[in-house]
């Protein structure tokens, strides 16, 4: 056996130790499935000599779960085979737990997904009391469900309502929380105490039939909170699917399948419930949405966290003191993000009053947490103490990193760069939090352009996980690596891109909002555009987003772009969407939410509503439209731009593209991101649809030979 070891000691303790060859973790690979079968058959043969069974791990973690690379290779035709595999694994689990011998799971580290389902074989579960260890069932977050017994067992342990956060919402928990929930029976201080405790427990329960039987297999078992026929439960179940659909828009099959498996399984016997669960899992495992989500939320996310976009051979780094220029919304948000991660922060603005106002943002955020009991006042005081507001540039002395977060104006950015850069600590570096202005141009104001980098945060900083790191023409590897480590130290997700106008995220996001504006200009009703976007899984419609980010900002960027093109002796051809937004600002005086109204009106104390004049100004009653075309235009336009960024070298990896598009600009999660959307459609089908859209709606959908080549070159292989 290559993935586990079996040992039957003279004292009658049979130990199964999971230890997959050549892997840092234990997974449910095909070899493990065969080994599990073999070890189960051996345990049955040795039954009379066995006093108890211990499940243990030789890795740092207990068990990691399913082999997701295998899932990526599956097709719809594999569903019956997948169902049979799942059932075989569960049959072996069932044999071990109904043998009449007490089974103990020794949890030395994380047990997630299939790993937690392996842990649930044990009648008695002992864990190391370390708050960093995580248990739970995160399958729904990657488009699957806990089909190795996770749904059936958690519902029977916690009840339908009690299990919901852990099964349907994928809430993870540490050993102490597991102990409180009754999911873990004992906690020990260190891993070396697991086996002695397991043996002691087995010795103490000899002769007790209940100790070797799960609660649901006992005659007196009742489901906590009641079954679906209980009136209290039934009332909630009537509305549950509708509530779920408002969250998922029907685009994510996994939560719906999970809810169905929970409720259906709670109405039948244990073995039937397990079979129901297997059927739902098999159908999800061969579905395109699961592949999209596994690709991005597992493989791509791990690629970023493990530093695949970070320049190699640069020592790890965490700055102790960071300066921020500009205490507006972005600067204040960055200050909070740093202070909450133990980084001393100097928040500089033109007046102390403005700097204090920036610090007050952290006071506001932490106060709401204190009021809800999520933070103690002592920690709040410590966090606020790490932010020093100032109007004196000299207070920046000794900062290892200074980030300018001032208004999007080249001259202003150059001025503050030259003023603050000399105060950096030796070996320090400088960053600009610009969202559109090319970094190489901004770096011209620096004495050391190789130590100048773009660090583009998204608003609001405290909620947005993504940070875009932009490498200028002269930025060196050490600076990019340090910026990457700084972003990870904030608990955020860094993507690394090369310099260009708008970089990756702003440039691609611009295509989304401008395609929406173009459709409005064509006469399609605004409400149709907005609703079609949300139904496709985009968080907000393009017109609402333009209002939030300010139409005037888009016009400012347009003016700057025209000026830059003119300086190079070229003429910038504005798109129809850009021209419509320009008209909204310059002619109709509708600059966005902050200015009192844009595409929407914002009545005081009331809900925002579309500006009624849009109907008169833009709607054309005879114009033909259908929802699928509108949705395709919004999604395909962004994917085309992403492919262009790969072809031009602005992006250098698919994982940066997918994570950047989902976490930065709200590309729908069910697609797996802007590049995975292409691969999910099939490259040929994507190209054909682009050609049709280009014929009808212009060059925004045209794929150049270079873009087509980039799509094929970067296609992931599993």
Give the catalytic positions in this structure. 117, 139
Pairing of strands 103-107, 452-457: unpaired
- What burial letters (b/e) apply to 238-267, b meaning 16+ CB within 10 Å? eebeeebeeebeeebbbbbbbbbbbbbbbe
Return all residues near 236 (Cβ < 8 A) that are at least 6 apart. Answer: 161
Closest CA to 102 of 185, 34, 175: 185
Closest CA to 702 of 639, 614, 624: 639
Question: How far from 601 is each of 262, 517, 604, 609, CA to CA, in Å?
Answer: 43, 17, 10, 5
Instruction: Give residue 689's Cα distance to chain centre.
Output: 29
For residues 551 and 594, what is the distance between their CA atoms, to the nearest angstrom?
Answer: 10
What would you report as the CA-atom Rg of the chain, rounded to the nearest whole angstrom?
29
Residue 672 falls in which region: left (phi positive, over 0), alpha (psi -120 to 50) or beta: left
Hey, what are 216's tokens?
Answer: 């649901």
H-helix or E-strand spanning residue 288: helix 288-294
Tell me which long-range contacts 482-485 makes (C-beta under 8 A, separation of at least 24): 482/314, 482/317, 482/319, 482/401, 482/429, 483/429, 483/431, 483/453, 483/455, 484/307, 484/309, 484/310, 484/311, 485/310, 485/316, 485/317, 485/318
Pairing of strands 452-457, 186-188: unpaired
| Whether 9 contacts 16, CB under 8 Å | no
Return all residues near 423 (Cβ < 8 A) that are at least 6 apart. Answer: 323, 393, 394, 396, 397, 398, 399, 402
């Amino acid at each position: 056996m290559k993935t586990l070891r079996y040992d039957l000691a003279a004292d009658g303790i049979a130990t199964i130790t999971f230890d997959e060859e050549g892997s840092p973790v234990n997974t449910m690979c095909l070899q493990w499935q065969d080994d599990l079968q073999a070890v189960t058959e051996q345990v049955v043969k040795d039954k009379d000599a066995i006093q108890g069974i211990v499940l243990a791990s030789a890795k740092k973690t207990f068990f990691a779960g399913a082999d997701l690379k295998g899932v990526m290779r599956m097709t719809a035709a594999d569903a019956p085979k997948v169902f049979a595999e799942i059932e075989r694994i569960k049959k072996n689990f069932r044999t071990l737990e109904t043998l009449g011998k007490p089974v103990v799971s020794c949890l030395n580290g994380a047990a997630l997904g299939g790993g937690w389902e392996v842990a649930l074989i044990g009648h008695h579960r002992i864990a190391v009391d370390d708050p960093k260890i995580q248990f739970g069932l995160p399958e729904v977050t990657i488009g699957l469900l806990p089909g190795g017994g996770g749904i059936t067992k958690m519902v029977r342990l916690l009840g339908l309502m009690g299990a919901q956060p852990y099964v349907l919402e994928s809430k993870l928990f540490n050993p102490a929380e597991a102990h409180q929930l009754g999911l873990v029976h004992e906690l020990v201080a260190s891993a070396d105490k697991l086996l002695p405790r397991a043996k002691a427990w087995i010795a103490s329960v000899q002769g007790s039939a209940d100790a070797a039987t799960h609660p649901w297999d006992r005659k007196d078992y009742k489901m906590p909170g009641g079954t679906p026929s209980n009136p209290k439960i039934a009332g909630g179940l009537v509305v549950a699917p509708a509530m779920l659909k408002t969250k998922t828009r029907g685009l994510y099959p996994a939560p719906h399948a999970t809810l169905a498996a929970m409720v259906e399984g709670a109405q039948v016997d244990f073995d039937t419930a397990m079979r129901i669960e297997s059927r739902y899992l098999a159908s999800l495992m061969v579905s395109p949405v699961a592949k999209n989500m596994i690709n991005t939320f597992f493989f791509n996310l791990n690629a970023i966290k493990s530093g695949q976009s970070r320049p190699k051979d640069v020592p790890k780094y965490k700055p102790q003191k960071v300066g921020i220029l500009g205490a507006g919304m972005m600067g204040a948000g960055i200050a909070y993000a740093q202070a909450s991660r133990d980084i001393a922060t100097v928040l500089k603005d033109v007046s102390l009053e403005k700097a204090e106002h920036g610090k007050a943002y952290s006071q506001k955020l932490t106060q709401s947490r204190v009021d809800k009991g999520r933070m103690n006042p002592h920690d709040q005081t410590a966090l606020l103490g790490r932010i020093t507001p100032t109007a004196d540039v000299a207070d920046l002395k000794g900062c290892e990193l200074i980030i300018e977060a001032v208004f999007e104006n080249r001259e202003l950015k150059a001025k503050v760069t030259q003023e603050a850069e000399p105060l950096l600590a030796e070996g320090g570096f400088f960053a600009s939090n610009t969202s559109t202005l090319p970094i190489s141009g901004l770096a011209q104001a620096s004495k050391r352009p190789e130590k100048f980098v773009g660090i583009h945060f998204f608003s609001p900083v405290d909620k947005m996980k993504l940070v875009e790191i932009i490498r200028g023409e002269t930025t060196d590897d050490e600076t990019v690596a340090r910026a990457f480590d700084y972003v990870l130290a904030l608990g955020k997700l860094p993507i690394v891109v090369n310099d260009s106008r708008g970089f990756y995220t702003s440039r691609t996001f611009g295509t989304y909002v401008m395609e929406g504006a173009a459709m409005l200009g064509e006469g399609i009703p605004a409400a149709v555009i907005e609703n079609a976007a949300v139904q496709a899984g985009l968080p907000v419609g393009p017109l609402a987003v333009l209002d939030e980010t300010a139409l005037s900002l888009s016009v400012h960027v347009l003016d700057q772009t025209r000026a830059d093109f003119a300086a190079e002796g070229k003429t910038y051809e504005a798109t129809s969407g850009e021209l419509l937004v320009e008209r909204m600002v310059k002619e109709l005086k509708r600059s966005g939410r902050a200015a009192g109204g844009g595409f929407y009106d914002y009545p005081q104390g009331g809900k925002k509503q579309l500006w009624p004049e849009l109907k008169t100004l833009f709607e054309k009653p005879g114009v033909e439209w259908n929802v699928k075309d509108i949705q395709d235009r919004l999604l395909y336009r962004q994917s085309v731009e992403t492919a262009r960024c790969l072809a031009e070298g602005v992006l250098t990896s698919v994982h940066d593209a997918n994570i950047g598009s989902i976490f930065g600009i709200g590309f729908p999660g069910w697609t797996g991101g802007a590049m995975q959307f292409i691969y999910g459609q099939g490259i040929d089908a994507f190209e054909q649809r682009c050609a049709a859209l280009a014929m009808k709606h212009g060059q925004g959908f045209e794929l150049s030979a270079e873009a087509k080549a980039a799509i094929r070159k970067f296609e992931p292989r599993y």
